[in-house]
Amino acid sequence: MTETTKQLPAPIEKEQPARQRLWPVWVIVIITLICVVMLALWNWQQWNNQQGTLQALQDLQQDTAQLESRYGDSGSQQSQRLQSLENKLTSQRELIATQQRQIDHNARELLEAGNRTRTDWLLAEAEYLLRIANQRLLIEKDIKGALSALEATDDVLTESDDIGVYAVRQQLAREILALKGLTGVDRTGLYLTLEAAIDSVHQLTDQALISEQAPGFMGNSQSDDAPPEGGEPGMLTKAWQKFKSTLMQVVVVRRMDESVKPLLSPDQSAYARLNLQLMLEEAEMAVLRGNQPLYERALAKAQAAIADWYDSSNQRVGALSRTLDELGKNNVAPDLPDISKSLDLLKERLAGRLNKDNGDNDKNNADANGGDDS
């Protein structure tokens, strides 16, 4: 058996199967996982960016809306400012144009002033004086001032050697004579007199007002048994007068055919003084304005108030009444003559001299141009 065993073929070892290599699969899986993670991260980042972009877009839309509202308001304000600036620019242009015209006018005046003679200056001075005279007479009612201005104008025209002012001086002499024939109104004196009258009204007391003790309410102030002028009363007359005076102290005799005026209260006394003061102030205003009807009406009302409210036997009341009578005789608005004709004639003369000077200048320029051409 031993030999048989030794002759048996040697056993063949079985080869183990080779192990499969799995590392490429793991690598692919890992790479895939990495790619998935990176893709997820990228998607998350993109989503965050999208959300940020949307938020920024919303903020931008809000800012745009605010800007539009602001710029809409500011745009209207800017248009209004632009319109106001255009208006100011237009006014400035008009002002500049006006100033330019004034400068041109002044330049022409200066140019003409250089060519004026002494006669032209005298005539211009005469024109100014005539304007002053008309203003004094028509506006201020100042006869003396107008007369002085006319006389000064005549003196200025006398110095001029222009024979064309003869008609002006002739009319000027008529106007001077017409003013000399007028009686000047002393407005200052009348006004001061009325002011003194108003002061005297303030000084009147209640005793000057009409009351039951006024002489007008008594019996006859003069006795029927008075002795003739130049005679001496007899004994019987003296005794009768003494008895009568004693009886009058006991018995008050009143005339029944006269209206009885009641006593005045303090309010009525103040009203009487205030009413009289207002009438006198109205007369002052009429003096300043030269309104004769208003002046006469105010004085008439003042005299009527004195007669109705005040006792004529009072010395202050009597003096005030006499003053008003004297004031009523004044004429505060005399008829004024027309002194504008001399000014019109002088204007015509000045225009004639100006046209003549312009004609002479044009002729001299033409002669000079003709000489240059030759």
Residues 197 and 329 in one domain: yes
Same domain, 131 and 212: no
Q: Which of 301, 313, 277 lies closest to 199 in space, CA to CA?
A: 277
Asked whether residue 131 carries a pLDDT value surpassing 90, the answer given is yes
Q: Are residues 266 and 133 in the same domain?
A: no
Q: What is the pLDDT of residue 217?
A: 37
**Residue 210 belongs to a domain:** yes
Q: What is residue 152's predicted lDDT score, i.e. its pLDDT? A: 92
Question: What does each C-alpha distance from 168 to 161, 172, 343 come to in angstroms?
Answer: 13, 6, 8
Let me know if residue 313 belongs to a domain: yes
Same domain as 267, residue 151: no
For 101, the 3-state DSSP assignment is helix
Whether residue 230 lies inside any domain: the answer is no
Nearest-CA neighbor of 308 among 267, 252, 265, 259?
259
Residue with tokens 């009429």: 286
Neighbouring C-beta atoms of residue 87, cutoff 10 Å: 10
Q: Is there a single domain that holds both residue 283 and residue 168?
A: no
Q: Does 291 lie in the same domain as 210?
A: yes
Whether residues 176 and 266 fall in one domain: no
Q: What confidence tens digit (pLDDT) does each residue in 136-180 have?
A: 888 877 888 888 999 999 999 988 877 888 889 999 999 999 888
- pLDDT at residue 117 in the model: 75
Pick the closest to residue 247 from 229, 263, 226, 223 (CA basis). Answer: 223
CA proximity to 190, closest of 86, 324, 37: 324
- Does pLDDT of 100 surpass 50? yes
* Residue 289 located in a structural domain: yes
Same domain membership, residue 191 and residue 130 = no
Contact (CB, 8 A) for 233 and 227:
yes
Instruction: Supply the DSSP symbol for 174.
Output: H
Dihedral pair phi/psi, residue 209, rounded to 5°: -75, 155
Distance in angstroms (rounded) separating the CA atoms of residues 29 and 44? 22
Q: Is residue 211 in some structural domain?
A: yes
Instruction: Answer whether 153's CB lies under 8 Å from 128's CB.
Output: no
Q: Are residues 194 and 298 in the same domain?
A: yes
Long-range CB pairs of 208-214, under 8 A, 24+ apart, other chains included: 208/310, 208/311, 208/314, 208/316, 208/317, 209/264, 209/269, 209/272, 209/309, 209/310, 209/311, 210/261, 210/264, 210/308, 210/309, 210/310, 210/311, 211/261, 211/263, 211/264, 211/311, 212/263, 214/311, 214/313
Residues 131 and 213 in one domain: no
In terms of residue numbers, what domain contains 212? 186-217+261-333
> Over pLDDT 90: what percentage of the chain?
8
Give the total number of structural domains in the chain: 2
pLDDT recorded at residue 130: 92
What's the pLDDT score for residue 153? 92
Q: Does residue 283 belong to any structural domain of this protein?
A: yes
Per the model's pLDDT, the better-predicted residue between 121 and 363 turns out to be 121
Are residues 289 and 170 part of one domain? no
Least confident window among 8-17, 51-60, 339-348: 8-17
* Cα first-last separation, the chain: 178
Four-point Cα dihedral 74, 79, 84, 90, nearest 10: 150
Any domain includes 235: no
pLDDT at 1 over 90: no
Confidence of residue 112 (pLDDT cuts 50, 70, 90): low
| 30-31-37 Cα angle (round to 5) | 90
Residue 285 included in any domain: yes
Q: Which of 260, 180, 171, 165 is nearest to 218 (CA)?
A: 260
Query: Within 13 A of 67's CA, how many CA atoms are on the CB side?
Result: 6
Report the C-alpha gap between 364 and 214 in whole angstroms. 93
Residues 170 and 203 in one domain: no
- Token reading at 2: 């031993």
- pLDDT per residue as tens digits for the range 235-284: 777 777 777 777 666 655 555 555 544 555 566 677 888 888 899 999 98
Domain boundary among 314, 333, 352: 333
Please give the model's pTM, rounded to 2 decimal places: 0.43
Q: Region 320-341: what's the mean pLDDT?
A: 85
> How many CA atoms within 13 Å lie on the side-chain side of 112?
15
**Whole-angstrom distance, CA of residue 144 vs CA of residue 245:** 60
